[in-house]
Structure 1
Amino acid sequence: MRLTLRRYSLWVLFMVVAAGNGQAAQTRPLPDLQIRVLLSPDARQTLVQGREGITVAADWYGEPNARHQSDADESGQIDMGRSELNLPSEGGTARFTPAAINSKRLGWLKEGLRVNINVYSARRHWPDNILNCEMADGPLAGLARKPVTLRCSLISELAG
């Protein structure tokens, strides 16, 4: 009886610690992320003339822990949400806050939150994207340490 009680006590202790770790991951404050968009002179001129904006998109995701493998999407990741911010034709800095992140799923992640950043023209003047921009992808903790600079040029500049 005493051995069974000890096993049960250890099991309960393990479950409390495991639940506490998941809760800690959910309540840990997430940092803001700043993305600075720099345009080539031709890209800036074309966007300004066309009164076209710039969209900066953040796709939040993470690798599932063992318990949530079945919740992963077709790419094997947990979708944590998407944010889009618009910048003026001249570029500038997009500031993402954790508000769009599905915080209920933070405990589902194996190694923490990751983010994929893409930049493209807002498609208000032209029906298709006209920008060729760098992208960023990695752990939020690493990318949020300092503003991330992404450079953009016109797609047509690549042909020239």
Structure 2
Amino acid sequence: MRCILAGPGAFATAMAVSLAAFAWIGAAKAADVCEALWRARNAIFANKGYCFESPEGQAAFGKGCFPPYGKLTRAEEADVQRIKDVEAHQRCAATPSGIMGAAMAPPPGGVRVVPKYVVQLTLSRAAQNKLAQSGETVRVAAFYYGSAMKHSADDDGEIALANEAVDLPSGTTAVNLGGISIAEADVRKTSEGQPMLLINVYTSRKVFPDNLLDCGIYQGAAAQAGQIEISCKLIGE
């Protein structure tokens, strides 16, 4: 889930939230005010594609990680500072306790958390040069799935459990994935009894309409992924 701010922009929206927070102080609990301020501040970064690493940030806004990767304008930086000033005045913790509790509490029915893992890319020299000269980026896509339990000889379906994709900043060749939650009820529908993982790598198609890369794949149990190494070269190379 990505939080995209609507209206005239992150600056005006967050300012409205921070001003509203001043009005709430007399009537609302301090913890509620701090949580609202924390969400308002981090929503600005979420709107600009910040890569959230903390479980609290991911629970509230998803992993993000899309251009411009959290880079703020001067107006947005000033807005963040204003909200920080309010947080300091209220003596808010860096992460309010309510946020921590909401992030850690499992949803009803239970979940299966996919262990975090690393995808490490090795690019041929020609691929490196093409990407660097064109400004095209690389996308790493993870698909979590399982085989449907067979109830007859004709059953041969696949169950989609979750997916995530990250566009790597130029010059970056590694990314951390996993750490996501999948409903236990969905996992139990699979014959494997655990999430399986398929990793595909291709260009993000931000510069060129067609994929430029010929890359290997990873396919196996998500819990055993650990560090995945994938080699890529230009198509036709």
Structure 1 segments unaligned to the other structure (5+ residues): 1-25
- How many residues of Structure 1 are paired with residues of Structure 2 in the alignment? 126
Are 1:30 and 2:110 matched, yes or no? no
Matches within 5 A, 1:116-131: 116-131=198-213
Are 1:43 and 2:127 matched, yes or no? yes
Cα offset for 1:37? Answer: 1.1
Cα offset for 1:104? Answer: 4.4
User: Is the alpha carbon distance of 1:107 and 1:151 closer, same or farther for their aligned partners in structure 2, counting shifts above 3 Å?
Assistant: same
Structure 1 runs of 4+ off > 6 angstroms? Answer: none
Tell me the amino acid that sits aligned with residue 35 of structure 1: V
2:229 corresponds to: 149
Higher relative contact order (CA 8 A, sep 6+): 1
TM-score by length of 1: 0.69
Identity across the alignment (%): 30
- Aligned CA RMSD, in angstroms, stands at 2.5
1:15 corresponds to: none
User: Is the alpha carbon distance of 1:48 and 1:101 closer, same or farther for their aligned partners in structure 2, counting shifts above 3 Å?
Assistant: farther
2:164 corresponds to: 83
Structure 2 segments unaligned to the other structure (5+ residues): 1-109
User: Is the alpha carbon distance of 1:109 and 1:151 closer, same or farther for their aligned partners in structure 2, counting shifts above 3 Å?
Assistant: same
Matches within 5 A, 1:68-147: 76-99=157-180, 101-111=182-192, 112-143=194-225, 146-147=226-227
Tell me the amino acid that sits aligned with residue 132 of structure 1: D
Tell me the amino acid that sits aligned with residue 31 of structure 1: P
Cα offset for 1:106? Answer: 1.7
CA distance in 2, matches of 1:65, 1:92: 37
TM-score by length of 2: 0.48
Moved more, 99-108 or 117-126: 99-108
Tell me the amino acid that sits aligned with residue 148 of structure 1: I
2:16 corresponds to: none
CA distance in 1, matches of 2:163, 2:142: 6
Are 1:58 and 2:142 matched, yes or no? yes
CA distance in 1, matches of 2:161, 2:201: 19
